[in-house]
Amino acid sequence: MEAQSGTTPSVHAVKGQQENVEMSFLRPPVVRLGAGAALNRALFTKRVDLAAAAIQSPKVIAHYRKALQTSQEMLKVDRISPIVSHPDKELGAQGRKCILLNPSVKAEEPTTWGPVIQEGIQKEELTVIPYELTLEYDYWTARDTMESVLPPELHDEIPSGFNVAGHVAHLNLRDSYLPYKKVVAEIILDKNPSIKTVINKVDNVGAESEFRTFQYEVLAGEDDLNVSCTENNCSFNFDYSKVYWNSKLEYEHTRIISFFKPGEVVCDVMAGIGPFALPAGKKRVFVWANDKNPESYKCLKANIQKNKVQDFVRPFCEDGLGFIRQATDEVLAASLKGEKVVITKPGPRSKSKKTDKPTTPGFVPEPLKPLITETYPLPPTISHFVMNLPASAIEFVGSFKGIYQLQENLFAPTTKTLLPLVHVHCFALKADDERPLIDICERLTKYLGFPMKPGNIDYNLNGEGEVAVHNVRDVAPAKSMYCATFRLPAAVAFAARD
């Protein structure tokens, strides 16, 4: 509330007043557009009457800015500078500045002027004048603008979150938002400078395409889905309409990659365009990377070369069911042939005496960097299998039966090598109890033919039959994506192949 006549507002009163006023004037105008109507940006202009302290000399601006900020009489609002040019064009041209004041300070009501302002007036260092602050369309956030445009019943789930692939924003709008899809897309395009294209999915991923591609419509911007992305220090180029990519999985990619150690072998059964494989290759991890989608395979090959990991990452275009055994056999055969990667790189410079110029007498040239050679022999066994096809990957685990038939000598206790860790992504019920864990273990048991149970697996020891389930992300109100990690049971790995 405003100060009583003849009194000076306290700091707490001023703060409360400012918070209350900001709740109103920092809201955009209500611009309810009918379904299918075009976005009229001019309707979002809002003018706010404020007071401003007109500073007589630039020498005292810093002093009064600090003093008014301390007394909480200065306007403090995100993305609005409190220092502005004098509204009088002639004085503004001369460089005169004003400090915008808290809305509770009224230019025409001296009783609302605090001690700092009154002191400045007495010293003839400032005056209090009216100031009209203009907030235009560019000021309002995407959420502000959507709440202004959309009817109140749609405010609970404003489509502010979306998947991003390079310059493309990928929406998955609910039916209730479809009448406003063009306006929503225009706002997203306006408020995100890096976005050049906004699309909306018109079917369910995987419902019509085994490669998880989808039908889409361009809602705003260019019809261009050839994108470039960077993730985990790797560059990816691809046609977003032909391959699968989800930027919301970056944390999960990073989490899984953190398990891999240099010199190990990873079999990426559903590799896509390489979000696991390429960063692993940069870690000096051998990767057999496979994807059944010819377009993904094409991009994978190109991105392997682009990121210079061809020594460690090998691309394949096979059905995942057969590739699990194919990769196991090929890795063993290649290791027995002695395949390895040798990397030669410059070592650290040694200290040397040198002068500023080579022509100076007594100049000693800096010695060349010594070369360091790193050798990575290909191991005979695979340390990790990654299966990132959540809709059906669990159904593939039956292919692990017998992958190391008659090869017990490759593993502990004969050697120090443990059986592979398997990371299987899947969908299950969204719940806070153990129902998703139990469901996932029951499905693994069905396809592995070995009893699996929830457990906190130790990634360095053999947790026989134990499954660690990590909640990756929610994908629907009652559905989540999980990653089930388990060490391949010996009874499965060493069984007779079908």
* Domain assignment present for 55: no
- Spatial separation of the C-alpha atoms in residues 267 and 256, rounded to whole Å: 13
Helix axis angle for 115-122 and 61-70, nearest 10°, is: 150
Its domain, for residue 213, covers 142-230
* Domain assignment present for 390: yes
Higher pLDDT pick, 122 / 352: 122
Please report which confidence band the pLDDT of residue 50 belongs to, taking 50, 70 and 90 as the band edges.
very high
Q: Are residues 217 and 260 in the same domain?
A: no
Instruction: Report the SS3 class of residue 17.
Output: helix
What percent of the chain stands above pLDDT 90?
72
* Domain assignment present for 267: yes
Q: Is 319 annotated as a binding residue?
A: yes
Instruction: Report the SS3 class of residue 272.
Output: coil
- Which of residues 202, 230, 258 is at a domain's end? 230
Task: Give the phi and the psi of residue 119 in degrees, each rounded to 5.
Answer: -65, -40
Q: Are residues 302 and 186 in the same domain?
A: no
Please report which confidence band the pLDDT of residue 57 belongs to, taking 50, 70 and 90 as the band edges.
very high
2-35: per-residue pLDDT in tens?
A: 333 333 444 344 444 444 444 467 788 888 877 7
Instruction: State the CATH number of the domain containing residue 148.
Output: 3.30.300.110
- Which of residues 177, 206, 230 is at a domain's end? 230
pLDDT at 476: 83
User: pLDDT at residue 224 above 70?
Assistant: yes
Q: Are residues 335 and 194 in the same domain?
A: no
* Domain assignment present for 137: no
Strand pairing report for 97-100 and 83-85: antiparallel
- Residue 410 CA to chain centroid, in angstroms? 40
Place of tokens 């390895």: 340
pLDDT at 38: 87
What lies within 8 Å, CB to CB, of 45 at 6+ separation is 29, 134, 135, 136, 137
What lies within 8 Å, CB to CB, of 468 at 6+ separation is 455, 456, 457, 484, 485, 486
* Domain assignment present for 132: no
* Domain assignment present for 353: no
171-184: per-residue pLDDT in tens?
A: 988 888 899 999 99
Q: Are residues 148 and 225 in the same domain?
A: yes
Computed on alpha carbons and rounded to an integer, the radius of gyration of the chain in Å comes to 32
Q: Are residues 191 and 262 in the same domain?
A: no
- Spatial separation of the C-alpha atoms in residues 135 and 80, rounded to whole Å: 9
445-498: per-residue pLDDT in tens?
A: 999 999 999 987 676 656 789 999 999 999 888 999 999 999 999 999 999 988
Q: Are residues 225 and 273 in the same domain?
A: no
Q: Are residues 225 and 286 in the same domain?
A: no
pLDDT at 44: 92
- Which of residues 230, 262, 281 is at a domain's end? 230
Residue 28: cis peptide before it, omega within 30 degrees of 0 = no
| CA angle (353 as vertex; 351, 359 as ends), nearest 5 | 135
Q: Within a 10 A sphere around the Cβ of 289, how many other Cβ atoms?
A: 32
Q: Is 253 annotated as a binding residue?
A: yes
Q: Is 49 annotated as a binding residue?
A: no
Out of 139-143, 389-393, 455-459, pick the least confident: 455-459
Is 433 in contact with 416 (CB distance < 8 Å)?
no
- Spatial separation of the C-alpha atoms in residues 399 and 380, rounded to whole Å: 19
pLDDT at 138: 94
Q: Is 409 annotated as a binding residue?
A: no
Q: Which amino acid is at 148?
A: S
Token pair of 89, please?
């064009």
User: pLDDT at residue 206 above 80?
Assistant: no
* Domain assignment present for 116: no
pLDDT at 303: 97
User: pLDDT at residue 405 above 90?
Assistant: yes
Q: Are residues 328 and 427 in the same domain?
A: yes
Domain count, the chain: 2
